[in-house]
Structure 1
Amino acid sequence: MFRLLEKYFEPVVIVTSLVMIILMVFADVIARFAFSTSIIIANEVARLCFVYLIYFGISYAIREHRHMRVTFFVDKFPPQFKRIILFISESIFLVYSVTVCVLGVEITQQAIERGKTLSATQWPTSILYAAIIFSGFLCALRLLYSLYLIGIRGDISLYQNEELPQ
């Protein structure tokens, strides 16, 4: 069960969010042009889904070792130095992810305390900010595993640049 959750959680959230964005925007466009009205919650739900799509996309990119990085100089070093540089790089990214998660908790707590709600749906804004917490936590877990691969197992094969076709 955990393996399935680990494998499919982010993709399900990302795809669901994308489908909801497409449906909400499409339905709102049809409502505007065909019926001269608007679906009040469409833009807000689409915006909420977009936030979740982006934040969970970051975690997914880390899991797949596809997050953006500049490796021009790293690729010039022998494997033992690459391992050290990658470990430092992933450690810095881990500190950043934990910081994002902690700040996300603070922002969400403030939103709950203030009782703020989204204007159209009247959902609490904490639903929006929760994406920061979940994403930061997932990123931290993914980066801890990455640090395990690099530091303990010495595996940097996932970080090798693929050659671009000429």
Structure 2
Amino acid sequence: MGKAFRAVEKYFEPAIIVAMLGAIIVLVFADVVARFAMSTSIAPANEMARLAFVYMIYFGVSYAIRERRHMRVTLLLDMAPPALRRVLLALAETVFLGYSAFVCWLGVVITANAVDRGQILTATEWPTAVLYAAIILSGGLSALRLLHSLWRIVVLGDTRLAAQMDV
């Protein structure tokens, strides 16, 4: 069980990202062929490609957090002694955790409002909740990744950044 969980933990976001990129390539290719071969467009393909792009980007956020490759300014961290560096990293991850939890909560609010209003996507006629669910999933997964990062910093004393890690 532990080995399977570690594999899922390690490859979950990359698998989603690759699947979404593959879907985008297939859908856009199909639409281009339809435009040139039959002089028409596949409206659902365009919309599904946009959805796949949104999911790819949002899952990329949590993957960047997992790999400690999210954007940050490290000037103060680089100059700080190890004890202060640990505190600054923990503080930064805590602030980012609060932000991610807030984004997740806002995603729930936006999705609930869209469901209450019965909003649908035009081409596929799917509920817009399908689109907004990416915000909820990304915010929640990012919060979990940040909790794990905080645990590594506070409990294990790991203050390495992605550039210093064996990636």
Report the TM-score range of the alignment, normalised by the length of the smaller protein: over 0.9
Q: What is the CA distance between 1:58 and its match in structure 2?
A: 0.1
Correspondence for 1:154:
157
Among the aligned pairs, what percent are the same residue?
60
Stretch of structure 1 that moved more, 65-74 or 118-127: 65-74
Please give the per-residue CA displacement for 1:52-81, whole angstroms capped at 9, x wherever unaligned: 001000000000111111112210111111
Unpaired runs of 5+ residues, structure 1, are none
Match of 1:76 among 67, 76, 79: 79
Report the TM-score, using the length of structure 2 for normalisation. 0.93
Correspondence for 2:109:
106
Q: Distance in 1 between matches of 2:33 and 2:114?
A: 34
Q: What is the CA distance between 1:2 and its match in structure 2?
A: 2.3
Correspondence for 2:36:
33
Report the TM-score, using the length of structure 1 for normalisation. 0.93
Q: Distance in 1 between matches of 2:7 and 2:77?
A: 34
Please give the per-residue CA displacement for 1:31-69, whole angstroms capped at 9, x wherever unaligned: 101111111211100110010001000000000111111
Match of 2:10 among 7, 11, 15: 7
Q: What is the CA distance between 1:161 and its match in structure 2?
A: 3.9
Correspondence for 1:132:
135
Match of 2:68 among 65, 71, 76: 65
CA RMSD of superposed structures (Å): 1.1
Unpaired runs of 5+ residues, structure 2, are none
